[in-house]
Chains A and B, each alone.
Chain A
């Protein structure tokens, strides 16, 4: 029996060379312990050195290798060929982002949004090192821990139908990151982040499809973060109407 193979259809686009993206098919050896990334590396090493894609850790934590695999956003290091074999696997760059080249997307927009939500501890007074660590109980840690697990892989943006229609939407990962700091007992910066999170391109754009949470490889639950953002900004609004003279 001949050694088993599997076919990958890889989206190719080389700026300045290709008018429009095209698919190129590669037949590679099939191994049941290989992931899609292994197959791409095989193509790159043995068949066609011109295919470009990002990858590094190959263990689901660096967030580099997100791609559309048969139309679903996935980390290619965590998508096993055995889940597709013997059918053809279609590999495309993450949806909703401009294509830089082949499977490489342009993520400038996300990087700008990441900074915009001020993802750092904000305090009126910084604590001196001599006073040692802040006390934070396991229960306080648990309040935000889940939202701190985001690896910035952008699968959630590729899954988000709102981001597709409204690229100004701050989006799932950045909002989850704002929630991560807002809910940290060491932080006092929520009001500063609200300008973005509750602003015109913030949580209210979300129509609660929940696809972001479905595709998240680290169970961050951005949809939950967005819901909490809506709730707390609604509370802010009620307070501002009911107690216009008071401090929120």
Chain B
């Protein structure tokens, strides 16, 4: 039986963007019925893992133009400049609201919020709550959301399909994980806030839940995925686990050294090393350049062989115990627990690690996707402030600014579009229920295990779609992904029960990840230039003539179809990216 559940706005994902969208919608119109549906309880969302901080212009020595320029040059000119302007202008308002809602920001002696420098930023503008900024923002947003009676929640519901009917997104099919039932949750507007897809790679800072669900849901509903070839490697992950050591470790003064104790970044256009510290130089350069420098060091044989691949060292010893405990206590805790080293006295082994998807569901500046009634915000979306490389500490204000914008835009849409085509939605739910049963729960004769296919997918993504790519590596990856998609049809589950079947949700996540991985590989294959995080060894130069454009990947029965869309340039014509000088 399909129960009668409907809302004005349904938000999928209860992390920072989803919660901010919900609050914005509730404030826009208290009469609206709002729901957040997430496969995890909101406080488990991956926003929780963000560490270093959130950038917004607040201090008298800073300016909006400075933040805009840093963001645009950081993006290697692939960000839409009108969107960046809106982002930078609204970020301080959003951050002040977070402060008013109780976020425990670190403070100056006079009680004003403290800011720290961050990579690729020419001024100190990154607000922080020690080094658990995402954790504090997420819990502040979640707790604040509890005061709005109009916000309901579906905790631990897994969205399997967006329901598009009569040219509009009108809700979602979702599995209530506790019961295993496929249910209809109808809505007049839907906002995707499901985060990133780092789990398509083997070595990532991302939590287990970051499986690109929202990207695949939108892609299947007809929305294009934009700029998917741009995958951010963070330069400092702990070996084996991939746990993030925040960029704040460097902004507080940490340095990166190779096996000879040499600050190697000076050899890759980021120096000279002194005077130090300097903004936009050396260890305070952008993430793409730092991760690329590691690869060159490794090829020169100047990294250190570890049991889990090559590493370099992050050295924060000179900061002293007091500053480490005050400014980056989580770094110390993580290094002690997961690498067995005390950063007060020892070097931290690190290597580049997949961290963030610059690409995502194509949206406009209001978070609207090309599918009417479907919005997206946060890492799942590509509104395009990050272009070819996101600057550290821009993602947290991004989820606030564009979460709020999507919430307001969805509120307006839901007010104008009242009809819900219920009989047609119910028919779709019955089909979806049948699909889940046929392909997974009742399927006979399958031979493939989830873990086998997942491991092969992540390995081929790293091999062919890593920090450096070329046509041959990308073609191999693309072919392997196609083979994995075929093998996926022969998947077999051990678990055929309904209640809390995490093997079933794991299979559905793998299904999503294969779609996202395909879009990444195909977009990377088509972009025959090098820009930001997308480095083609066969096309090592940036090519503004042909590729000052966003790529849009559309799902087809065959390979993704790639189209291009001009980047919006307003006041900042493309120029050479320069750091260190």
Contacts and interface: CB of A to CB of B under 8 A. Distances in A.
A50 interface: yes
B143 A120 contact: yes
Given A100-B178, A120-B143, A135-B110, A57 B499 contact: no
A119 interface: yes
Contacts of A33: 240
Contacts of A190: none
B502 A152 contact: no
Given A14-B497, A119-B143, A133-B112, A63 B107 contact: no
Given A132-B58, A133-B105, A135-B112, 9 more contacts: A54-B44, A55-B208, A61-B49, A61-B135, A101-B499, A101-B500, A148-B104, A151-B48, A184-B104
A15 B100 contact: no
Interface of A: 14-17, 33, 44-46, 48-50, 52-64, 78, 100-102, 104, 107, 111, 114-115, 118-121, 126-127, 129, 132-138, 140-141, 144-145, 148-152, 177, 181, 184, 186-187
B144 to A, nearest CB: 5
A134 B494 CA distance: 55
B132 A61 contact: yes
B135 A151 contact: yes
Contacts of A54: 40, 44
Contacts of A186: 100, 102
Contacts of A140: 111
Contact of A136 (B49, B111, B136, B155): B111
B207 A56 contact: yes
B102 A120 contact: yes
B449 to A, nearest CB: 7
A109 B310 CA distance: 47
B207 A144 contact: no
Contacts of A104: 500
Contacts of B100: 121, 126-127, 129, 133-134, 186
Given A59-B334, A133-B112, A135-B112, A49 B44 contact: no
B99 A49 contact: no
Contacts of A62: 43-46, 48-49, 207
Contacts of B107: 136-138, 141
B243 A133 contact: no
Contacts of A121: 100-102, 144
Contacts of B111: 134-137, 140
A184 B105 CA distance: 12
B460 to A, nearest CB: 18
B338 interface: yes
Contacts of B40: 54, 56, 64
B473 interface: no
Contacts of B338: 59
B475 interface: no
Contacts of A48: 494
- Dominant SS among interface residues on chain A: loop
Contacts of A149: 132
B63 interface: no
* From B58, B104, B449, residue with most partner A Cβ within 10 Å: B104
Contacts of B451: 44-46
B51 to A, nearest CB: 9
B576 to A, nearest CB: 37
B473 to A, nearest CB: 27
A115 B101 contact: no
B146 A119 contact: yes
Given A100-B500, A137-B107, A151-B43, A56 B495 contact: no
B44 A118 contact: no
A99 to B, nearest CB: 10
Interface in B366-425: none
A133 B93 CA distance: 10
A126 B108 CA distance: 23
Contacts of A52: 495, 500-502
B5 interface: no
A78 B334 CA distance: 10
A59 B49 contact: yes
Interface in B82-141: 93, 96-97, 99-102, 104-113, 132, 135-136, 139
Contacts of A55: 208
A100 B499 contact: yes
Interface in B125-173: 132, 135-136, 139, 143-144, 146-147, 155
B41 interface: yes
A133 B49 contact: no
A231 to B, nearest CB: 23
25 contacts: A15-B499, A16-B497, A16-B499, A17-B497, A33-B240, A44-B503, A48-B494, A50-B497, A50-B503, A54-B40, A55-B208, A56-B46, A56-B209, A59-B243, A60-B334, A120-B101, A121-B144, A129-B100, A136-B111, A138-B108, A141-B104, A141-B106, A151-B43, A152-B41, A184-B102
